[in-house]
Amino acid sequence: MAEEDVTMIGFVVLHYIAKEMTIECVDNLLQLFSREDIQIIIVDNASPNDSGKELEWYYKNSQIVKVHINRSNIGFARGNNTGFKILRPLN
């Protein structure tokens, strides 16, 4: 299928402290959707337990899942907006 024929779906997963719950969420998304038609951005909202860095390492080789770590906890709405800005353009 040509790239222009693929419908892309982007997901933003806001993360704070609960690494296992975030991994479970991402795993469920990967099971529900074809791997070539989605993009997942995990936004760590400055988790004090370094779980954002652990997620960054866990998904370091993924072409689908990217992790962004905020320097400070910017709240729910701004955290999600940060992830939305990172999603690659869907043209």
**The whole model's pTM is what?**
0.88
Residue 9's SS3 state is strand
* pLDDT for the residue 1: 46
Question: Half-sphere exposure (CA, 13 Å, Cβ side) for 59?
Answer: 23
DSSP at 46: -
Give the C-alpha separation, 37 to 50, whole Å: 30
pLDDT tens-digit profile, the chain (91 residues): 455 555 678 999 999 999 999 999 999 999 998 777 789 999 999 999 999 999 999 999 999 999 999 999 999 999 999 999 998 765 4
At 24, give phi and psi (nearest 5°): -60, -40
